[in-house]
Structure 1
Amino acid sequence: MHFEIAYKWVFLLLPLPLLVYLLLPAMRKRRMALIVPFFDTAATVSHTRKTKRGWVSRRNIPAWLAMLLCWIGLLCAASSPRYVGKPQKKIKTVRSFMIAADISFSMAETDWVIEGKRMSRWGAVKSIMKDFVRNRKSDQMGLVMFATNAYLQAPLTRDLPTIAWLMDETEVGMAGQMTSIGTAIAYCVKVFKEDTVKQKNILLLTDGVDAGTDILPLDAAQAAKKDSIVIYTLGIGKAKGSGGYDLDEKTLREIAAATDGKYFNAMNEGQLKQVYATLDKLQPVEYEEETYKPVTLLYYYPLAATVLLALLFLLIAAVISIFRPAR
């Protein structure tokens, strides 16, 4: 870091008090005077020169010096002295990524094996997705959890560790039993209405079929398309009618196609990791950097010194006036 004065032109005001002293007329004071008829005689006897002014103040050198130092201190504070560090790069958000995750009861099925441990579908998704979330460095991300209803678990934010933590705290069944895919998409679109970032994406994860109780998935996808939102759909498990799973791949493909997205399917840990790797390629992390300099302001040091100097001078003047002998 190096020292810098932001407003050097402030010191051009340094001679201002002198100009005021020279250009403005002297301050006049009125005092009581005693008129006596023998004034001329008394002045002659005492050899005192008569003047037109009855009182002339003496120059108070300490007071002038104190005021000069205070003026210099105020100018130093107004010039904004500071320590400035080296220019640094700041990552600017360029994309919003909303994760819409199915937490209906079917996600509680313990038919996945991660690192040799059997766990539920939702547990497997969480364990692998946390790394995906943390790696989306320049993105702002949000969480929408859905089942019978959809709700916002985390608003759009760049605090990705918090997103991963909130996902880890979410459990199956918190939003109901059924799967309302259309409602989830519509809710994400609603959240994006308040977002000013142009690139908007939804990652929709589900292992079921839309319950069809509210908004149809394709209608919600068309609304997302109008707002330039790309939806990537991820089906967990096997397709409907192929081994007992109830996954509607056809609808998920249509949702992705309607928004220029892509459909993925994952039936195990390896495939799920591959899905996230593919997403990273399709939507690579982008950086728009803003240059900024870390600044530490120092104006309060000369300002504090000026205030202390003025208080000290007033205190000394008060003490002198108290103990000064009467004339």
Structure 2
Amino acid sequence: MMHVEWPWLLAALPLPLLVYWLFPAAIASDQAALKVPFLDDFAFAETEKVSAVHQKWQRYAAMCAWCLLVLAATRPQWLGDPIEQAVSGRDLMLAVDLSGSMEAQDFFINKEPVDRLTAAKWVAGDFIERRVGDRIGLILFGTQAYLQTPLTFDRKTVSTLLNEAALGLAGDNTAIGDAIGLAVKRLKNQPADSRVLVLMTDGANTAGEIAPLKAAELAAQNHLKIYTIGIGADEMIVRSFFGNRKVNPSADLDENALVKIAETTGGRYFRARNTDELNNIYMLLDKLEPVEKDKQFFRPRSELFYLPLAMALSLAGLIGAARLRWS
């Protein structure tokens, strides 16, 4: 459909008439003349008649050129069909543990042993890429928790900053409560039914200013749903001078606290012992029910002002050429 961006400029259409009425042309004074009835007078009269015709069409052409110029100034556009934009309405914060224990190599990617943080990056990167329509934020925590990326639709930047995170960057301890508190602070001004925190850790709370359960209660009061992920294998073969022995690399994981945090906020606790389980958890998180928001539409626009502008300039050129010829 056609659309005019600045229709108020149509008020300029009668401007030439106002100028004509307010500033009329000077009337030529009559002068005495001697008329001689020769045949040449008939040729002169015919020339005057032709000149009057040319002046008349030039006047009409000028009027059309002015109308076209005003039409171009109103910025006419062609609006395409409405296109619905993908906006699910979720504000999702991802909190990743960078404590020293995340360097344990009890995960495998393509049959190669990797540390827990590398596995988390590998799986979470795909999870972030699939969050079309959601705003994603990133919190990194160790001894301290800090906001690496505020809520944004720019999933590529979030993935890049997550991949640049390094072990021990925020300290070697684990401040789970502070990470939750920071998420509450960053999400409290967002719609109450769209706040989600995915918290991934491999240990227990050993640092920070606020206890995890206290932070979970604060999150529940602010309608923040928390999904907790306990990461780490249940058993691992360790080679030593005395031979191979089985150990539990996740002995420090406080699953009871993570379960209570999730239950307090209406979320769920997941256990990731390997990359397959971790990927399945993120696939399950993909199925979170999106919050219904007002649909947003985008209508492509094509500018059309150049068409009347080109026609007006063409008419102006014709008028100028005609005056040069008959002058």
Work out the CA distance in 2 between the residues paired with 1:274 and 1:15: 67
Secondary structure of 2:190 counterpart: coil
Work out the CA distance in 1 between the residues paired with 2:225 and 2:193: 11
1:285/1:115 CA distance change after superposition, 3 Å: farther
For residues 211-254 of structure 1, give each alpha carbon's deviation from its aligned partner in whole angstroms, at most 9, with x where no partner exists.
Answer: 24411112211221121110111111268xx8243111111111
The worse-fitting range, judged by mean Cα deviation, of 173-182 and 158-167 is 158-167
Work out the CA distance in 2 between the residues paired with 1:170 and 1:316: 74
1:227/1:313 CA distance change after superposition, 3 Å: farther
Secondary structure of 1:202 counterpart: strand
1:13/1:256 CA distance change after superposition, 3 Å: closer
Instruction: Mark the runs of 5 or more structure 1 residues left unpaired by the alignment.
Output: 34-38, 49-57
Instruction: Mark the runs of 5 or more structure 2 residues left unpaired by the alignment.
Output: 37-50, 235-246
Work out the CA distance in 2 between the residues paired with 1:255 and 1:179: 15
Contact kept, 8 Å, 1:143 with 1:153, in 2: the verdict is: yes
1:304/1:147 CA distance change after superposition, 3 Å: farther
Partner of 2:177: 182
- 1:275-290 alignment to 2 at 5 Å? 275-281=281-287, 283-285=288-290, 289-290=295-296
Contact kept, 8 Å, 2:3 with 2:79, in 1: the verdict is: no
Partner of 1:55: none
Contact kept, 8 Å, 1:238 with 1:247, in 2: the verdict is: no
Partner of 1:294: 300
Partner of 2:239: none
Work out the CA distance in 2 between the residues paired with 1:213 and 1:161: 30
1:217/1:304 CA distance change after superposition, 3 Å: farther
Secondary structure of 1:92 counterpart: coil
Partner of 1:36: none
* TM-score, normalisation: structure 1: 0.75
- 1:259-270 alignment to 2 at 5 Å? 259-270=265-276
1:233/1:11 CA distance change after superposition, 3 Å: closer
1:173/1:26 CA distance change after superposition, 3 Å: closer
Kindly report the root-mean-square deviation, in angstroms, between the aligned alpha carbons of the 2 structures: 3.8
* TM-score, normalisation: structure 2: 0.75
Number of matched pairs: 296
Contact kept, 8 Å, 1:203 with 1:231, in 2: the verdict is: yes
2:155 to 160, 183, 194: 160
Secondary structure of 1:255 counterpart: helix
Secondary structure of 2:86 counterpart: strand
1:121/1:17 CA distance change after superposition, 3 Å: closer
